[in-house]
Every structure is written in structure tokens, then in C-alpha cells.
Amino acid sequence: MKRKETLVNIQLNAENNKIELSDFVIDEMGNEHISTSIDTPMRKDAFEKTDAQKIEAIEKHFTSIMEILGLDLSDDSLRGTPKRVAKMYVQEFFGGLNPANKPNATLFDNKFGYHEMVVEKNISFYSTCEHHFVPFAGKAHIAYINNGQVIGLSKLNRIVKYFSKRPQVQERLTIQIGKELQRVLNTDDVAVILDAKHLCVASRGIEDDTSSTVTAFYGGAFNDEEKKNEYLKYIDFNTLH
Ligand SMILES: [Zn+2]
């Protein structure tokens, strides 16, 4: 019931109507991985800087972080690290923040008259916990029932990858993938399960490296027990571990 206590501790500032978070609550939010919205919270000026400008600025700031930690950046092994981290952040780990990188999903007519569910399971993904900025990674299992048009299977991987490449909370990532698939495929009949290991749980805090976190999104027909069970049987969920 720790989660409940945490929420109760959040105070509303009477003057500006903003939520006030004490350091304690901020720590607790991180450890409990509480998400506050479905959309990734973005600033209005998020894309005023080019990627090159962002890399340059992050390189500078990461240099400071390393120096504050006491590291000597004149060492050959460390010299290139701030730039490497900056490029990795902008171009790889967080490339999915930029809508310009969103995959175009081309649909094809369902010429085969296939009306059963299509399941693509064990899609690997790597994301970053937005509370600790360390990776969480696992498998996505996706299913949809077509509404007259089908999608190239690799596009399912690309959609998972796009939303993974953001600072994320697993619950939000699951919903973002589910909602995007519903939009692209023009149907509510979409299911998504993510099963992931969080490095912030394994390498720090509680230091549990055997647990994994499962989140699910069931839309339309997948709220029907029979369809849901068929999907769970296809992904053979109980035997994954
Ligand atoms: Zn975390």
C-alpha cells in the first residue's frame, strides 16, 4: 500500500494550483514508477533546437556531470564520453521523442480474406525509465484483427521501437503502442503485452534482478474473454519464464 501513501503525500499549492512534490515524494514516485499522463510530457520549445544543437548542449552538460563526479576528462578513455552520450541520447535512446522519426505505416488490402487475429510475439525492445534514466528492456507481444487492411509485420516492430526510444514508464509505453496501432490499423481490436526487466529495480534500490514487469492493453474484441485467451495462448505467456 506504499503507492497509496505516496499519492496522499502529494500536496496542491493553494496559490498557483500546482502539485508540490517533496524530495521524499519524488524519490517514492521513482521507486514506485508512477506515471502522470498518457502523452509523453513535452515542452512547447521541444524542437526549436536542431539535433546537432542538442548534441552540442548535452555534451557540455555531461562533461560537467563527469567533472563534478571527479573524473579526469583528459584521460584518453573518457575524453570522448560526453559526445558519445549526447549522440546516443539524441539519435538513439530518445530519438522517439521527435515526431519526425515516427514510422509511416503503409496498409495493404486484405486480399486473402483473413479475418482471424494476427499475432507478432517476442518483439525485442529497449527503453529508458524516465524516473532513473537507466534502461528497461523486454519483449512486446502484439495482436490485431484487421478491418479490411493489413500492415507489414516489420511495421509493428518499428512502432514498438519508436515509442520505446523515449524516457518512459512501462504502462505509458504499453498504452502509446496500443493507441497508435488502433489509429494506424483503423480498428479498436488491438492487444499489446509488454514483459520487461527494469535496470533501476535490478541494479539499484531493491536490487531484484529476477522479477519482470508485465503490462497489458486490450482494445475492442480483445476485451472478450475468449479472444483474450486465444491471444494469450498464442503468445504462450505462461511458459515464457
Ligand atoms: Zn526506474
Q: Which of 56, 130, 171, 230 is catalytic?
A: 130
Whether 130 is catalytic is yes
User: In this predicted structure, what is the pLDDT of residue 36?
Assistant: 66
Q: How far is the CA of 198 from the centre of ligand 1 (A)?
A: 7
Go through 177-214 and write b for each residue having 16 or more CB atoms within 10 A of its CB, e for each that does not. Answer: bbbbbbebbebbbbbbbbbbbbebbbeeeeeeeeebee
Whether 15 is catalytic is no
Q: Which of 28, 33, 141, 170 is catalytic?
A: 170
User: In this predicted structure, what is the pLDDT of residue 2?
Assistant: 38
User: In this predicted structure, what is the pLDDT of residue 112?
Assistant: 87
Q: Which of 28, 33, 120, 129 is catalytic?
A: 129
Return the CATH number of 39-93, one of 3.30.565.10, 3.40.920.10, 3.40.50.300, 1.10.286.10: 1.10.286.10
User: In this predicted structure, what is the pLDDT of residue 238?
Assistant: 61
Residues in Cβ contact with 107 at an 8 Å cutoff, skipping those fewer than 6 apart: 149, 150, 151, 184, 185, 186
Q: Where in the chain is the domain with CATH 1.10.286.10?
A: 39-93
Q: How far is the CA of 133 from the centre of ligand 1 (A)?
A: 7
Look-up of cell digits 489509429: 183
We find that the CATH architecture of domain 106-239 is 2-Layer Sandwich (3.30)
Q: How far is the CA of 93 from the centre of ligand 1 (A)?
A: 15
Check if the beta carbon of residue 161 is closer than 8 Å to that of residue 127.
Answer: no
How many Å is the Cα radius of gyration of the chain?
21
User: In this predicted structure, what is the pLDDT of residue 21?
Assistant: 62
Q: How far is the CA of 37 from the centre of ligand 1 (A)?
A: 16
Tell me the angle at which helices 170-185 and 153-164 cross, rounded to the nearest 10 degrees.
Answer: 140
Q: How far is the CA of 214 from the centre of ligand 1 (A)?
A: 15
Check if the beta carbon of residue 211 is closer than 8 Å to that of residue 201.
Answer: yes
Whether 198 is catalytic is yes
Check if the beta carbon of residue 32 is closer than 8 Å to that of residue 6.
Answer: yes
What does pLDDT average to in each consecutive run of 10 residues of the chain (241 residues)?
40 55 68 76 94 98 98 98 98 96 91 93 97 96 96 95 98 96 97 96 90 96 96 80 43
Whether 115 is catalytic is no
Q: How far is the CA of 112 from the centre of ligand 1 (A)?
A: 44
Q: Which of 28, 33, 120, 200 is catalytic?
A: 200
Q: How far is the CA of 172 from the centre of ligand 1 (A)?
A: 13
Whether 132 is catalytic is yes
Q: How far is the CA of 34 from the centre of ligand 1 (A)?
A: 10
The cell for 208 is: 531484484
User: In this predicted structure, what is the pLDDT of residue 27?
Assistant: 73
Q: Where in the chain is the domain with CATH 3.30.1130.10?
A: 106-239
